[in-house]
């Protein structure tokens, strides 16, 4: 039966695939005893489920490709051996035939018995193998309780998988994508989490905050995931599938249209040149940025080098990664952000930091770097060594005061002096910039700007800190509003302050790559955008259809508006040419 589940779209696009539950223990188990006459039918159901689980594993193994294929195959083979183990299978049969238990109850009892054996083992590795039992039982339970037609099962066998889980770590996304996962449905999470950002980089649809997913889905259910609408259709109908095929055709047509913009200048209809840079964290982003005609890399997130490690990366490892990034951009400017981690993720980076009650307001970003000077010097040295290969800028996150800027600049000078004395060739001059993501930095920027070479606005955090809304709390998603009057006034203040001081002002937050806000940002005076490279051509198409002068004349009205409804109305009108008398932007900032 068709079912629609709702969440929040975190990564755009659609995917059709089979549900793969990461926590398959959440199955309804019927613990009542069977009548004697029903035992044979129940045993047939169990045998069919076992055969289905074995077939799924064989099909999955046949699809394995890439550098991790051997490692993943070992796990699949281990699961296949469990399903072929006579003791395991005979134990299930005895529970159904002799104990007259339902198949679901027999599976649960067998699971509990085997897990108890593994947990009693002294060897930590052997104890950890209980997860194999969990996965195997879950796969059989999914096959047992699967409610799908023969036609749907045939279709599901030809498509990849949709991971359904509470959360997924950023480090898990690439291996999952390499082995057939087409999209993600998460019961928790945020549209602005690191996992969501990386999912967008991989161009895999993701829906977060789908609270009912694990309780309503079974392994193998056919799902149609819509990352644009934040919707999951379970057991899609022929009409749903026809709509999906039409969407695929539309996307192909859009791709052909946007393809023609790869070598086109980004310039408004009245001739204003706009710079579109790309955000990057993996090699594929760099290649896509070059192919899309990006003006450079406006934000390289270095924290992805640090996650899921026992020890932080050394200078040479970091240098090689940054050098390849610079070389990959072929002489275009590259902005490398220093480590942006906090207590919520630092354990996975091999660094010790005590737990904090509120990591978002704790020791993170530049605060962490300055508390671990050895770590920061290692990273700064690695970055500076790349300046001989192309134009490189250093961007520091979580800046809130001028003293932090001065300290980082002093460290940069020390590292540069040491590198030159060691014989390394580095640039004579390198630019230092600050992420403006703390309201204090935005408000104090007039006094800090002369200490900086450029600034980049991180809207993700700036919005959450300004509105006191945790961007990772899906319960507050409705309050996280880029069109809030306070947010717009801070954005306008930062842009105007930077331009008056002759400093470059860019935006690297999610707003920059969202075409719903392109006209608004142009109206506020932004001329440098940095975004996921997959959004660059769409933003270029939007910019090239807009009138910059007309939009700038709307800015004072935007900044005087006190209600979000009025702001949304003004933003919606921005595609219409405006002929109102211009007013000075600065007057609206008093």
As annotated, the active-site residues are 194, 508
- Where helices occur in 98-203 by DSSP H, the ranges are 103-119, 124-128, 130-145, 150-156, 170-178, 194-201
Q: How far is CA 73 from the centre of its chain?
A: 27
- The secondary structure of 486-550, three-state, reads HHHHHHHHHHHHHHHCCCEEEECCHHHHCCCCHHHHHHCCCCEEEECHHHHHHHHHHHCCCCHHH
User: How far is C-alpha 474 from the chain's CA centre?
Assistant: 15
CB 53 within 8 A of CB 143: yes
Looking at the DSSP bridge assignments, the partners of residue 506 are 456, 528
Q: Residues near 538 by Cβ (< 8 Å), separated by ≥ 6?
A: 258, 515
Whether the CA torsion 458, 463, 465, 470 is positive or negative: it is negative
Which strand (E) or helix (H) includes residue 183?
strand 181-186
Q: What is the β-pairing status of strands 431-436 and 231-234? A: unpaired
Long-range contacts of 306-312 (CB under 8 A, 24+ apart): 306/339, 306/341, 306/349, 306/350, 307/169, 307/170, 307/171, 307/345, 307/348, 307/349, 308/169, 308/171, 308/348, 309/348, 309/349, 309/350, 310/350, 311/350, 312/349, 312/350, 312/351, 312/375, 312/378
Q: CA 208, CA 191: separation in Å to the nearest integer?
A: 7
Q: How many CA atoms lie within 13 A of 283 on its CB side?
A: 7
Name the residue among 503, 464, 494 with its Cα closest to residue 482.
464
Q: How far apart are CA 182 and CA 177, in angstroms?
A: 7
Tokens 């939009």 sit on residue: 551
CB 212 within 8 A of CB 232: no
Alpha helices in 120-160 (DSSP H): 124-128, 130-145, 150-156
Could you give the strand order of the β-sheet that contains 161-165, starting from the edge strand earlier in sequence? 3-6, 231-234, 222-226, 14-21, 161-165, 181-186, 206-208, 8-11
> Among the residues of 260-298, which ranges form H helices?
283-291
Whats the size of the chain, residue-wise?
590
Euclidean distance between the first and the last CA atom of the chain, given in angstroms as a whole number: 59
- At residue 215, the 3 state secondary structure works out as helix
């Amino acid at each position: 039966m068709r079912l629609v589940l709702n969440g929040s779209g975190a990564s755009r696009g659609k995917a059709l695939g089979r549900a793969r539950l990461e926590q398959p223990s959440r199955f309804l188990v019927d613990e009542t005893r069977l009548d004697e006459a029903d035992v044979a039918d129940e045993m047939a159901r169990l045998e069919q489920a076992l055969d289905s689980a074995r077939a799924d594993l064989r099909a999955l193994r046949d699809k394995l490709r890439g550098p991790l294929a051997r490692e993943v195959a070992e796990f699949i083979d281990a699961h296949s051996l469990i399903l072929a183990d006579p003791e395991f299978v005979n134990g299930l049969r005895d529970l159904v035939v002799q104990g007259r238990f339902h198949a679901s109850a027999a599976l649960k009892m067998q699971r509990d018995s085997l897990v108890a054996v593994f947990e009693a083992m002294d060897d930590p590795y052997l104890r950890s193998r209980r997860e194999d039992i969990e996965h195997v039982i879950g796969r059989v339970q999914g096959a047992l309780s699967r409610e799908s037609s023969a036609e749907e099962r045939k279709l599901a066998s030809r498509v990849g998988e949709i991971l359904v889980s509470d959360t997924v770590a950023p480090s898990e996304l690439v291996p999952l994508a390499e082995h057939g996962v087409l999209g993600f449905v998460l019961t928790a999470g945020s549209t602005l989490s690191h996992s969501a950002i990386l999912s967008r980089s991989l161009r895999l649809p993701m829906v977060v905050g789908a609270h009912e997913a694990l309780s309503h889905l079974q392994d193998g259910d056919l799902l149609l995931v819509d990352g644009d609408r934040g919707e999951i259709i379970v057991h899609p109908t022929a009409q749903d599938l026809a709509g999906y095929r039409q969407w695929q055709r539309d996307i192909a047509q859009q791709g052909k249209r946007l393809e023609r913009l790869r070598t086109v200048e980004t310039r408004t209809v009245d001739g204003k040149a706009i710079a579109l840079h790309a955000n990057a964290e993996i090699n594929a982003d760099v290649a896509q940025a070059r192919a899309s005609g990006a003006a450079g890399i406006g934000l390289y997130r270095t924290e992805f080098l640090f996650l899921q490690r026992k020890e932080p990366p050394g200078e040479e490892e970091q240098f090689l990664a940054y050098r390849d990034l610079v070389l990959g951009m072929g002489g275009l400017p590259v902005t490398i952000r220093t480590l942006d981690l906090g207590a919520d993720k630092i354990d996975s980076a091999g660094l010790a930091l005590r737990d904090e009650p509120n990591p978002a307001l704790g020791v993170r970003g530049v605060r962490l770097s300055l508390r671990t000077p050895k770590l920061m010097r290692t990273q700064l040295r690695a970055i500076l060594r790349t300046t001989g290969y192309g134009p490189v800028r250093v961007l520091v996150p979580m800046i809130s005061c001028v003293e932090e800027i001065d300290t980082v600049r002093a460290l940069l000078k020390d590292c540069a002096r040491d590198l030159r004395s060691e014989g390394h060739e580095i640039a004579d001059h390198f630019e230092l910039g600050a992420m403006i993501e703390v309201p204090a930095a935005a408000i104090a920027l007039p006094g800090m700007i002369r200490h900086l070479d450029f600034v980049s606005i991180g809207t993700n955090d700036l919005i959450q800190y300004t509105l006191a809304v945790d961007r990772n709390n899906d319960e507050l998603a409705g309050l996280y509003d880029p069109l809030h009057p306070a947010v717009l006034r801070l954005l306008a203040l930062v842009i105007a302050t930077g331009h008056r001081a002759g400093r470059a002002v860019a935006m690297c937050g999610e707003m920059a790559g969202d075409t719903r806000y392109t006209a608004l940002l142009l109206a506020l005076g932004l001329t440098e955008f940095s975004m996921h490279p997959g959004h660059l051509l769409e933003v270029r198409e939007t910019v090239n259809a807009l009138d910059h002068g007309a939009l700038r004349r709307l800015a004072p009205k935007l900044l005087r508006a006190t209600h979000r409804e009025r702001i949304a109305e003004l933003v919606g009108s921005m595609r219409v040419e405006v002929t109102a008398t211009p007013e000075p932007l600065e007057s609206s900032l008093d």
